[in-house]
């Protein structure tokens, strides 16, 4: 009997050790360098299975529907807020995250996680306008200029319903989170007009169509714009005059994650200055890691898309509950009506 118990215990320990050798990551596409994940695997023996999503709402829908296979996720700030409200995130053991000390004070205790209990900042940024100055000669200052009739069929935009609705709200004089049935009714004709002029919806790599010359203007993530500016000086980045907001993508562990210890190890690995610097090299968003910023070149820090000069306070998205579904329905309906 004793031998049997000892063998059973050894088998359980063996199974546990094997389980710690893998980790299921659910994150934005084109956002974590594969070489960094490979180095994590080489150091720890933990194999990372990387599944991607294209919008925060896609992530939220999967988790609310009961998806339980993920050990580490990368939600935007307002989706993290919703996940916290629904009890879908685990409290983090910060004693296992010594490199969290590298996070700049401005990115701690933000409104979506005021107690800094559930999330770790990964990268921050802004959605803005980029255009090819060799092709577009008229001034581009904001959304109305971007979606002008003269640019019919020459525009790429991120395929993100909340961002597109917010851009239309700004153009009408509303604020970031002024999302009600009445404001969406006013947004509808604006987006309907814009959508007729858009050639491509692409959240994964909107820069590609711009680099290839398929389009001349885009409403894109600032990191994508930064890559364009690095590759060709003909591109320009603009913060829309009507309004812009800051966003923070975070790392978090879902409640009930089976490989939570491995997830904590990966979070801390990504917070190392040299690893975070490599992330900035590949995906030049605004890095909240102060130690990593000190490793960046002067040219990287001077990129106006990565580290834009902001002359006004920027809001952030907040969780809007069921109105998120109304936004998705609106945008889907308008896309289908094109």
Q: 16: pLDDT confidence band, cut at 50, 70 and 90?
A: very low
46-96 per-position pLDDT tens digit: 999 999 998 888 888 888 888 789 999 999 999 999 999 999 999 999 999
What is the per-residue burial (b if ≥16 Cβ within 10 Å, else e) of 50-71?
A: eebbbbbbbbbebbeeeeeebb
Matching residue, tokens 């990565």: 306
Is the pLDDT reported for residue 107 higher than 50?
Answer: yes
Specify the higher pLDDT residue, 23 or 11: 23
182-211 per-position pLDDT tens digit: 999 999 999 999 999 999 999 889 999 999
**Mean pLDDT, residues 25-37 taken together:** 95
Domain identity same for 115 and 158:
no
Specify the higher pLDDT residue, 67 or 135: 135
Q: 13: pLDDT confidence band, cut at 50, 70 and 90?
A: very low
Domain identity same for 96 and 241:
no
Domain identity same for 220 and 321:
yes
Domain identity same for 43 and 81:
yes
**Mean pLDDT, residues 167-196 taken together:** 96
CATH code of the domain in which 77 resides: 3.40.190.10
Domain identity same for 104 and 191:
no
Domain identity same for 14 and 109:
yes
Domain identity same for 80 and 19:
yes
Domain identity same for 137 and 203:
yes
Is the pLDDT reported for residue 254 higher than 80?
Answer: yes
Domain identity same for 31 and 145:
no
Domain identity same for 140 and 157:
yes
Q: 275: pLDDT confidence band, cut at 50, 70 and 90?
A: very high
How much is the pLDDT for 6? Answer: 34
Domain identity same for 171 and 146:
yes
**Count of domains observed in the chain:** 2
How much is the pLDDT for 87? Answer: 95
Domain identity same for 204 and 319:
yes
How much is the pLDDT for 71? Answer: 97
Task: Look up the domain containing 29 and give its range.
Answer: 2-124+248-302
């Amino acid at each position: 009997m004793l031998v049997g118990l000892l063998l059973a215990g050894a088998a359980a320990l063996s199974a546990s050790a094997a389980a710690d050798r893998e980790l299921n990551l659910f994150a934005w596409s084109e956002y974590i360098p594969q070489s960094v994940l490979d180095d994590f695997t080489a150091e720890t023996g933990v194999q990372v299975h990387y599944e991607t999503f294209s919008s925060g709402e896609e992530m939220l829908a999967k988790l609310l529907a009961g998806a339980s296979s993920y050990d580490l996720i990368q939600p935007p700030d307002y989706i993290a807020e919703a996940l916290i409200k629904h009890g879908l995130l685990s409290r983090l053991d910060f004693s296992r995250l010594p490199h969290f000390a590298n996070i700049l004070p401005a990115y701690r205790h933000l409104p979506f996680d005021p107690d800094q209990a559930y999330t770790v900042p990964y990268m921050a940024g802004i959605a803005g306008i980029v255009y090819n100055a060799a092709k577009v000669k008229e001034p581009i200052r904001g959304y109305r200029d971007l979606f002008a009739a003269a640019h019919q069929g020459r525009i790429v935009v991120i395929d993100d319903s909340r961002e597109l609705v917010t851009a239309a709200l700004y153009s009408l004089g509303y604020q970031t989170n002024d999302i009600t049935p009445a404001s969406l009714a006013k947004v509808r004709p604006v987006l309907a007009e814009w959508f007729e002029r858009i050639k491509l919806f692409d959240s994964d790599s909107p820069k590609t169509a711009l680099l290839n010359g398929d389009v001349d203007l885009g409403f894109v993530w600032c990191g994508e714009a930064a890559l364009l500016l690095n590759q060709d000086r003909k591109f320009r980045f603009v913060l829309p005059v009507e309004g812009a907001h800051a966003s923070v993508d975070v790392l978090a562990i879902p409640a009930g994650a089976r490989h939570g210890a491995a997830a904590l190890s990966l979070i801390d690995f990504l917070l190392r200055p040299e690893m975070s610097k490599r992330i900035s090299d590949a995906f030049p968003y605004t890095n909240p890691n102060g130690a990593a910023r000190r490793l960046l070149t002067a040219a990287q820090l001077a990129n106006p898309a990565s580290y834009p000069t902001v002359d006004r306070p920027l809001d952030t998205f907040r969780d809007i509950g069921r109105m998120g579904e109304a936004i998705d329905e609106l945008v889907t309906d308008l896309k289908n009506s094109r």
